[in-house]
Chains A and B, each alone.
Chain A
Amino acid sequence: MRSTDLGFRIGIGVFAAALLLIVVAIGITLAKDSWLSLQRFGFDFWRTSDWDPVAGEFGALPFIWGTLYSSVLALAIATPVALGIAVFISELCPPMLRAPLIFLTELLAAIPSIVYGLWGIFVLVPAVRAVETGLPEGLRALPLFSGPPFGVGMLAAALILAVMVVPFTSAVAREVLKTVPMTQREAAYALGATRFEAIRAAMFYARTGILGAVMLGFGRALGETMAVTMVIGNNPQVSLSLFAPQYTMAAVIANEFTEAANALYLSALIEIGLVLFIITLLVNVMSRGLIWSMARKLPSKVAA
């Protein structure tokens, strides 16, 4: 018995270590292959906006900005919808509707991103353009809506990302809500709570898990490549405007990697990969920290 236990522990340990090793190996490979660009541009790579393959000048700021801005916007749009879906399915939905609804939201996650991209080009972008051209002049003066209405741009990218993020966030949030003990809801009802208040109590109870679901969606949005590059307009600029064509890190790698025929250019693109890797890592660490600090403050340990 003891030897199988030991074998089991070692086996599991190897798998866990392999995962860690892979992450470290990716980091090292990225750093090694981007060495030329790291040496040449140093920290300026993070804060300059010039991306000029012909002159050999590379700065990642517009791509970092575009990635974070599009992901945050997508999250702002997707989170209420995803949580709404999760709450409806787990708390309010008639039982006969539950299975089809779960199936449909999960179907959204199974659609390849190139299909989202094509849908974006042919359906979403014209619709966005119509909205943009229809916007009253007064609003167009705001920095958020400045610039010509191309249709492609930040707004289209954020919307398509939001659609892609919803199934992930809602699936995890639904599972989290399922783990809230019935006693929590019953206690709320016993105190005379309305249905809304009882659901709010359940969500409060599950808030760390829900935050985890949201962060999972954020990670998904940061790395999404194909659908975004097809609708974002691919113009490296730092702009607050939702109408402006912008660019993301994953998109520029996908677009330019195959034709990057000199060493510095290639190494700058790999450094973009490194930056994306670091940012994803930071986001994950931060969300872990947030979840951890919330979990510590959780008043009741009974259910755990």
Chain B
Amino acid sequence: MLLTACGGGNTQPVTANNSASNPAQGLTINGAGATFPYPIYSKWFSEYNKLHPDVRINYQSIGSGGGIQQIINQTVFFGATDGPMNDEQLKSASGPILHFPTVLGAVVPVYNIPGVTEELKFTGAVLADIYLGKIKKWNDPAVAKLNPGTELPATDITVVHRSDGSGTTYIFVDYLSKVSPQFKSEAGVGTSVKWPAGVGGKGNEGVSGLVTQTPGSIGYVELIYALQNKIPYGAVQNAAGEFVKASVDSVTKAAAAAATTMPPDFRVSITNAQGPGAYPISSFTWLLMYADPKDKASARAMVDFVKWALTDGQKYAADLGYAPLPANVVMLEQAALEQIKAS
């Protein structure tokens, strides 16, 4: 395991020095981190390479934790993560690290209840109580009250969560911790938590595999995964009291609502966002870069790339199931990119 975790970083640190001596070969920039945005990032890197054949960006999707570690250890030029770095992690880096939101994703509840074909409605409190093991049966009054037209069976609820550390888990428990103080104290927020109940499946495919096979089960997966695999999912009540299904549109609304209070370092959680139509279990995903990188050639190329990704690149997001950034966030980020000392 040690080898795999370090492998991403050992594949060649930034090779800007080589490229300076041999400009014909172009510039290779290495990055590593979250698996969740990997489909859109690889699309971006390949599209950007078509426009700028001299810039090649390598990305290893080794997980958010690995991305944070590698940017701290400077084995990659940029990192990527689904949960922002905490203060302790930022302090352990050799210089200030900046966060740049790139796109948005969402986490959706999926379930398998014998005899129920309707789309179920959940509140944050009910989801938290199910994941705490307090709501044990599907016909519990708390669930039934939200779904008046649906005939819910007296089946036991099998709770399914991710067993591997994951940004998906981070977003989900971040939301549950906001709406349930008890969940916050018993499990808390992290890429892996101490689950009070249930069984763990490895990866989105492990969770959805368990849910589709186990009658009476509930799990959570990324929106993009549910869309691609045509898995039906439930609606969740947002802070404004509306029941909202996750979609590109409702996720962007959550971001727009949060954008007005965006902190200057972009480290913001937009779960349980205010505002009409906002889907409550949404999150940004971030790129991580040093504010004053040593390798200036890579820094210039990367700043140009991020500018492109924030504008032209956004049009690729929706097709892949990601929500594009709201315009005001893009403007804030364009200003923040000026902070990177690229020359």
Contact = CB atoms under 8 A, between A and B. Distances in A.
B192 A152 contact: no
Contact of A262 (B88, B156, B201): B88
B180 interface: no
Interface of B: 1-2, 4-5, 62-66, 68-69, 88-89, 156, 158, 163-166, 187-195, 198-202, 206, 209-210, 213-214
Given A245-B198, A259-B66, 19 more contacts: A33-B2, A53-B165, A54-B189, A54-B193, A54-B194, A129-B213, A151-B214, A229-B163, A229-B202, A230-B202, A230-B206, A234-B163, A255-B192, A258-B5, A258-B66, A259-B164, A261-B66, A261-B69, A261-B191
Nearest to A55: B188
B200 A245 contact: yes
Given A54-B188, A255-B163, A260-B65, A235 B5 contact: no
A269 to B, nearest CB: 8
Given A53-B194, A54-B188, A273-B1, A233 B165 contact: no
Nearest to B88: A262
User: Across chains A and B, which 9 residue pairs bring their CB atoms closest together, nearest first?
Assistant: A259-B165, A234-B200, A234-B163, A258-B63, A54-B188, A259-B65, A261-B65, A52-B194, A233-B199
Given A53-B193, A129-B214, A235 B165 contact: no
Contacts of A251: 163
Contacts of B200: 233-235, 245, 255
Chain B CB within 10 Å — which of A126, A251, A258 has the most?
A: A258
Contacts of A235: 195, 198-200
B166 A150 contact: no
Given A54-B189, A230-B206, A235-B199, A150 B1 contact: no
Contact of A121 (B89, B156, B209): B209
A41 to B, nearest CB: 16
Contact of B164 (A33, A121, A258): A258
Interface string A34-66: 000000000000000011111100000000000
Nearest to B34: A259
13 contacts: A33-B2, A50-B194, A54-B190, A121-B213, A150-B158, A230-B202, A245-B198, A255-B165, A259-B64, A259-B65, A259-B166, A261-B64, A261-B66
Nearest to B156: A148
A152 B66 CA distance: 29
B165 A258 contact: yes
Nearest to A254: B1
Given A129-B214, A151-B214, A258 B202 contact: no
A53 B173 CA distance: 13
Chain A CB within 10 Å — which of B88, B163, B194 has the most?
A: B163
Contacts of A122: 209, 213
B199 A152 contact: yes
Contacts of B209: 121-122
A33 B66 CA distance: 16
Contacts of B192: 53, 255-256, 259-260
